[in-house]
Amino acid sequence: MKRLAILFSALLFMFALGGCGVTDSATSKSEQVVKEDTEQPESTDTIESEAGQPVNTVDESKSNDVADNSDEEMTKGGSNALVVYFSRTGEQYGVGVIDKGNTAIVADMIVDLTGADSYEVLPEEDYYPYTYEGLTDIAKQEQNDNARPAIRDAVPDLSGYDTIFVGAPVWWGDWPMIMYTFFEENADALAGKTLIPFSTHAGSGLSGFDSKLSKALPDSTVGTGLAIEGTDAQNDQTAVKEKVSGWLTEFGY
């Protein structure tokens, strides 16, 4: 009996030690799970904050810039600016037959970006050939004769315009002669205005449009000109509009 009592006491003691070991192990695992669960959301919140906040800030800044620029363009453009241009369709060098002239394309971009009015110089008698070779022959003949082709439509009242963009294709390294008709017939109205030339060309650039404009209209202020290749005006209008936009910033648009 005494031996049985001792054996029974030993078994009870071992059972108690085993129970304490299981409880400690469960507590350790529980603490590890709780620690992982509480750390993970903190990491996720940090990533969202760093990735999300700058995007929102940039978007708001861009939105404000666009709104401000839009208002500024409307104030500086509109009836205070005019685009005067001469342009031709038909067969053109490097681009084939076109139904919208290279200079007309650039002129429309200026109008879109500034809110300016526009006036197209059209000949009273349109004897210009449809073919490129024929057109160059007529252009050369007009230049040799120092011709002044008549303009068909009445020129708008220029008194309300401060800035006038003036554009044309380069014909034999010069303005088309019909543009000299415009300059000379409106010299008094253009006096004191800021005139900004632009050209479309097949490799000759601005061809001194600015200096020739200053000579023709010495009482006007001539701004920095822009030259656009005709092939780009027809085939790469996105890039051309970016170039036009950058050029216009020089004049506050």
Which candidate, 138, 127, 131, places its Cα nearest to that of 92? 131
Which tokens go with 64? 């404000």
Which tokens go with 13? 């003691």
35-50 burial code (b ≥16 CB/10 A, e <16): eeeeeeeeeeeeeeee
Residues 229 and 117 in one domain: yes
Domain closes at, from 11, 42, 67:
67
The CATH number of the domain where 123 resides is what?
3.40.50.360
Question: Which residue segment(s) compose the domain that 54 sits in?
Answer: 27-67
Identify residue 35 by its one-letter amino acid code.
K
Residues 122 and 222 in one domain: yes
Q: For the chain, what's the residue count?
A: 253
Residues 60 and 96 in one domain: no
β-strands 90-92, 96-98 pairing:
antiparallel
Q: pTM of the entire structure?
A: 0.70
Looking at the chain, which runs of residues are DSSP E strands?
81-85, 90-92, 96-98, 117-120, 163-169, 194-201, 221-222, 226-229
- Backbone φ and ψ of 184, nearest 5°: -75, -40
CB 110 within 8 A of CB 200: no
- On whether residue 238 sits in a domain, the answer given is yes
Which tokens go with 28? 């350790």
Domain closes at, from 14, 35, 67:
67
Total domains in the fold of the chain: 2
Residues 59 and 165 in one domain: no
Q: For residues 186 and 145, give the distance between their C-alpha atoms in angstroms, rounded to a whole number.
A: 21
Domain closes at, from 49, 67, 85:
67
Q: For residues 215 and 220, give the distance between their C-alpha atoms in angstroms, rounded to a whole number.
A: 10
- pLDDT digit string (tens) for the chain, length 253 residues: 444 444 444 444 343 334 433 333 333 333 333 333 333 333 322 222 222 232 232 233 333 332 333 333 333 344 599 999 999 999 999 899 999 999 999 999 999 999 999 999 999 999 999 999 999 999 999 999 999 999 999 999 999 999 999 999 999 999 999 999 999 999 999 999 999 999 999 999 999 999 999 999 999 999 999 999 999 999 999 999 999 999 999 999 9
Which tokens go with 16? 């108690």
Q: Does the CA dihedral 252-218-124-202 come out positive or negative?
A: negative
